[in-house]
């Protein structure tokens, strides 16, 4: 059942929240634990719908995975421990599950079938199926492997040096994971801009040698993974909603604890600084392969900026909420080189522009981004929708904190995909 929620203005946001675990890192911890030898313990695992889809798929391949509210134990038996699933692997709404798992399945000597929801069925899969076919995997799917449902029969892969036309960590990861199943050959992925490097960092934590060089990553086939313990830092993409909320709601001050600040993800922090936000970042000691910080954000007077090029992959998932932020900044904010937005859970150029216009923002779509002019009073008194996209839902919920009149947010349940405790956190900060 799709839920609708009425949301009203909030006068002030103050207090402390612990940001839930990072979605990208939670997925990888379960996947890598599933193909490692031994017991992997994962703490602060994100209990969002997407990561639970990953758990369910690997369970169907015979991996013993136990979940106790945020603590996950994965009993891996090495890559060869994966079994042919007797059922379809349902990825739900999760692009990361689909693309990384196809990379693993490409090297598995059995048949599997992948299906997801309506949104997944529209997302381009040829960006992974093409290079994996070049490596020798037998993959088929709707429209010649462009879309789900996909069927995979893996095994016998050859290494490649792949020049990806897009900066995508999902593509890079799928190829590197397939590269693990070649025979002592080197697989390399080169991207136009560096994408998030959680796979490279975590594979190293599992004992695999991965080389990184500016926009390339390489792996030698035949290496096995040894189980390890993983602490998942708070997701900076989830923190982004409260960073923006703290900056735009009057008289606010929010402390966000344990936020992952991997430099391939911190574009939102760069943009907040560029726009003049009052933000303090305190790095924390003792975190091994992913850096972590506590962050304080306060109500700020903001100015427009330009966001493009190398910065885009570092904040691609934050663009919906950055558009809202920009509506509260003086002057124009120009976002370009971001056509990847069109192939996310929704076409995020259309959904961001369409929904923010309904509540009075001055925003215009461009071919590869958008232009937002501020500062605008957001009106409210409108029915808006997440369109089934968690990040659009949360962006609109944060917008409602400053609209003159209440808004009605349709398909609010989409938020469970990455931040099931979002409204609890918002309510705990509202004064
Ligand atoms: C992700 C990579 C990004 C991001 C997505 C998660 C990952 O997608 O938008 O939410 O975990 O690797 P692309 O690889 O398509 O850029």
Residue nearest to atom 15 of ligand 1 (CA): 168
pLDDT tens figures, 386-422: 999 999 999 999 999 999 999 999 999 999 999 999 9
The confidence score (pLDDT) of residue 1 equals 62
Q: How confident is the prediction along the chain (431 residues), in pLDDT tens digits per residue?
A: 679 999 999 999 999 999 999 999 999 999 999 999 999 999 999 999 999 999 999 999 999 999 998 899 999 999 999 999 999 999 999 999 999 999 999 999 999 999 999 999 999 999 999 999 999 999 999 999 999 999 999 989 999 999 999 999 999 999 999 999 999 899 999 999 999 999 999 999 999 999 999 999 999 999 999 999 999 999 999 999 999 999 999 999 999 999 999 999 999 999 999 999 999 999 998 877 999 999 999 999 999 999 999 999 999 999 999 999 999 999 999 999 999 999 999 999 999 999 999 999 999 999 999 999 999 999 999 999 999 999 999 999 999 999 999 999 999 999 999 999 999 999 999 99
Closest ligand 1 atom number to CA of residue 173: 12
105 in Cβ contact with 180 (< 8 Å)? no
Query: From ligand 1's centre to the CA of 6, what distance in Å?
Result: 30
170 CB within 6 A, ligand 1 = yes
Residue 80, burial from CB neighbour count under 10 angstroms (0-12, 13-18, 19+):
exposed
* Distances from the Cα of 63 to the Cα of 60, 75, 100, 372, angstroms: 7, 7, 17, 47
97 CB within 6 A, ligand 1 = no
Residue 340, burial from CB neighbour count under 10 angstroms (0-12, 13-18, 19+):
middle
Annotated catalytic residues are: 317
CA 328 to CA 332: how far, in whole Å?
A: 10
Pocket test for ligand 1, best of 316, 320, 343 (most atoms within 8 A of CB): 316
316 CB within 6 A, ligand 1 = yes
First to last CA, the chain: 31
Q: Which residue in this structure is represented by tokens 């392969």? A: 289
The confidence score (pLDDT) of residue 184 equals 84
Instruction: Report DSSP state, residue 22.
Output: P
CB count within 10 Å of CB 293 equals: 22
- CA 187, 135, 61, 46 dihedral sign is positive
* Distances from the Cα of 240 to the Cα of 63, 122, 228, 289, 315, angstroms: 34, 26, 29, 22, 10
88 in Cβ contact with 116 (< 8 Å)? no
Pocket test for ligand 1, best of 31, 101, 169, 200 (most atoms within 8 A of CB): 169
User: What domains are defined for the chain?
Assistant: 4-20+233-429 (3.65.10.10), 23-231 (3.65.10.10)
Residue 26: name the closest of 60, 3, 53 by CA.
Answer: 53
Query: From ligand 1's centre to the CA of 380, what distance in Å?
Result: 31
CA 372 to CA 374: how far, in whole Å?
A: 7
């Amino acid at each position: 059942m799709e839920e609708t929620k009425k949301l009203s203005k909030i006068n002030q946001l103050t207090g402390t929240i612990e940001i839930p675990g990072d979605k990208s890192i939670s997925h990888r911890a379960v996947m890598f634990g599933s193909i490692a030898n031994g017991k992997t313990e994962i703490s602060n695992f994100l209990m969002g719908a997407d990561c639970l889809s990953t758990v369910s798929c690997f369970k169907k391949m015979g991996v013993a995975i136990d979940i106790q509210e945020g603590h996950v134990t994965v009993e891996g038996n090495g890559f060869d421990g994966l079994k042919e699933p007797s059922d379809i692997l349902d990825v739900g709404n999760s692009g990361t599950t689909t693309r990384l798992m196809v990379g693993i399945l490409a090297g598995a000597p059995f048949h599997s079938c992948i299906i997801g929801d309506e949104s997944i069925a529209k997302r381009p899969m040829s960006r992974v199926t093409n290079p994996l076919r070049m490596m020798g995997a037998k993959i088929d799917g709707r429209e010649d492997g462009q879309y789900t449902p996909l069927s995979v029969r893996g095994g016998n892969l050859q290494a490649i040096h792949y020049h990806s036309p897009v900066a995508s960590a999902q593509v890079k990861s799928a190829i590197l994971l397939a590269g693990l199943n070649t025979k002592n050959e080197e697989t390399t992925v080169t991207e136009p801009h560096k994408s998030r490097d959680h796979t490279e960092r975590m594979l190293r934590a599992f004992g695999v040698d991965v080389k990184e060089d500016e926009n390339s990553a390489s792996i030698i086939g035949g290496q096995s993974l040894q189980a390890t313990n993983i602490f998942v830092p708070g997701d900076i993409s989830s923190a982004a909603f409260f960073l923006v909320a703290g900056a735009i709601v009057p008289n606010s001050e929010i402390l966000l604890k344990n936020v992952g600040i991997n430099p391939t993800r911190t574009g939102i922090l760069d943009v907040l600084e560029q726009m003049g936000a009052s933000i303090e970042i305190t790095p924390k000691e003792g975190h091994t392969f992913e850096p972590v910080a506590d962050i304080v954000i306060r109500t700020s007077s903001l100015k427009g900026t330009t966001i493009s090029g190398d910065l885009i992959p570092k904040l691609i998932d934050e663009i919906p909420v950055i558009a809202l932020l920009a509506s509260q900044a003086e002057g124009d904010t120009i976002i370009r080189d971001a056509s990847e937005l069109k192939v996310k859970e929704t076409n995020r150029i259309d959904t961001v522009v369409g929904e923010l216009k309904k509540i009075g923002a001055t925003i215009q779509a461009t071919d590869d981004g958008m232009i937002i002019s501020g500062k605008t009073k957001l009106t409210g008194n409108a029915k808006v929708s997440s369109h089934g996209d968690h990040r659009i839902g949360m962006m609109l919920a944060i917008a409602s904190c400053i609209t003159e009149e209440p808004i009605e947010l349709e398909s609010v349940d989409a938020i469970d995909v990455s931040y099931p405790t979002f409204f609890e956190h918002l309510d705990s900060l509202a004064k």
